[in-house]
Chains A and B, each alone.
Chain A
Amino acid sequence: MNSIVFSLNVFADLQTMWQYDFMRHAFEAGTIVAIIAGIIGYFIVLRRSSFAAHALSHIGFAGAAGAVLFGLNPIVGLLVFTCGGGIAIATLGRKAAERDVQIGTVLAFMLGLGVLFISLYSGYATEAYSLLFGEILGISATDVFVTLGAALVLLGVVATVYRPLLFTSLDEDVAEAKGISIFWIGIIFMLLVAVATSIAVQVVGVLLIFALMVTPAAVAQRLARRPAQGILISVLIALLATWFGLFVSFYLPYPVSFFITSATFVVYLAVRIF
């Protein structure tokens, strides 16, 4: 891969990259995931649920590792575990989601469980590595379709619950008095986070999920006055970081996740400083 020379013509470079299936799939999945992560992330930051989202990705790790052990697609294990965990966190209530000690204890246990599953799977370290840090260059055409399907469902649900979700995120007590079920919005929201996390793991992995789901949204929260603008900014940052990461990693022998997380971190720093 390193024999290919970087030119200053970005379009020519992209054309070169897209001759490879793995690069095309990576760009397709990365784009879908960045859009979803930007949207769901905005609500995660607005609701101050970032720790719960972080926890869900760790819970998902145990599920993915279990799926690998039983010869299933990791995305199945991810979805089952994150959805189960999401419902559990939502049932405990939003105040419970702020109890970081309890959640931290559970997620440490889940990581441990994941490590056990991985070691039982004939000790393959690459599988664990790609779950923890993402392996976007290994995405198959089927993975892209699964990701697209999940993303379309997510977009449909967000469009449907948009206003009640926004209302409960900003002013829960008034929203409840206006007839919105806080409990059901909470469940729906955590399921959205669960599915978004599951597909994002493919790109940045369990441990780096914050970089796509939370950092761009945190920047958007500081810059935008209107939620629609905030979501747009959040999506744009996630998209640019993902594209940048994929682009650069084509020429340099370092992990894509590193470039993506660095890009969002630099944007975050810049916005905090200026």
Chain B
Amino acid sequence: MNTEALIIAKDLAGGYPSKTVWQGADFSIGKGEFVAVLGPNGAGKTTLFRLLLGLGQPLAGTLSVFGKTPERGNPRIGYVPQQHPIDSETGVEALELVRLGLDGNHWGMGSMNQGRKEAMAALRTVGAEELAHRPLGVLSGGELQRIFLAEALIGKPDLLLLDEPLANLDMRREANFVQLINDVVRKQGVTVLLIAHNINPLLPVLDRVIYVANGRVTNGKPSEILTSKSLTDLYGIPIEVLKDSHGRIAIIGMDEPPEHHHHDHE
């Protein structure tokens, strides 16, 4: 792993003009790191992503991405937002959406077949070649997640921001998807920030964890952050970190009250 810093935050504060959600964030993320962004609903994880994408302004402090102030439309960043609403009547094929990830922000019509080869290659990378000509409206949550990942990867980004890509996936698909992202990170040297609620499937591949909770942003190696004491402090509910016979860790007690599920707009 290279230690060159891609993202540097200094005393950063995020939120809305009327309300600071978190402040005093100091961290730097290196090239090729796989980072999990964790924290309760409404803690401001998506707010952090919006700052990185240049869609929001910091309330205080500085943030630099690739050595510059974030600006909207940076082609070096691939983004998969949370909760994509795709209408079940949408007959447009998956390949067409992936293609738009390459040149959808250009004016004009483009040529009929421009970018189709690249789109097919991106679909191959995520193992979704066979979905290329299927209508978006009939794809399952897990299949769509792969399509969105291909849409983000087609521009060959250096930084990948994934907002809860594991939501709505069963345990096997969750593990497959984490493995897939990990392959991309290691092979192509892409830096990944991934928002998740359940850290367990991510533990084998993580380099670093960023915790957003109680108005603060904490970061560190999984082994430093993932202790019963620090997690209990952050979430405000009792959390235990257990080690199994192979030295792998598992975290118990992080489940949130069910009424908050799937509806957060942080």
Interface residues of A (CB under 8 A from B): 46, 48, 159-164, 166-167, 170-171, 173-180, 218, 221-228, 230
Contact = CB atoms under 8 A, between A and B. Distances in A.
Nearest to B84: A171
Contacts of A177: 53, 55, 72-73, 77, 79, 81
A167 B104 contact: yes
Q: Which 5 A-B pairs have the closest CB atoms?
A: A179-B73, A167-B104, A173-B81, A225-B93, A178-B105
Interface in B71-93: 72-73, 77, 79-81, 84, 86-87, 89-93
Indicate the member of A163, A166, A221, A228 with the most B CB atoms within 10 Å: A163
Given A46-B92, A170-B92, A178-B101, 14 more contacts: A159-B109, A163-B100, A163-B105, A163-B110, A170-B86, A171-B104, A171-B151, A173-B84, A174-B148, A176-B72, A179-B73, A180-B105, A218-B89, A230-B91
Contacts of A224: 91-92
24 contacts: A46-B90, A46-B92, A159-B108, A163-B104, A163-B108, A167-B104, A170-B86, A170-B100, A174-B81, A174-B101, A174-B148, A174-B152, A177-B55, A177-B77, A178-B101, A178-B104, A179-B72, A179-B105, A218-B89, A221-B89, A225-B135, A227-B92, A227-B96, A230-B91
B81 A225 contact: no
Secondary structure of the B side of the interface?
loop
B59 interface: no
B92 A162 contact: no
A228 B135 CA distance: 15
Interface string B46-88: 0000000101000000000000000011000101110010110
A180 B101 CA distance: 12
Contacts of A161: 107
Interface of B: 53, 55, 72-73, 77, 79-81, 84, 86-87, 89-93, 96-97, 100-101, 103-110, 112, 133, 135-136, 148, 151-152
Contacts of A176: 55, 72
A166 B103 CA distance: 11
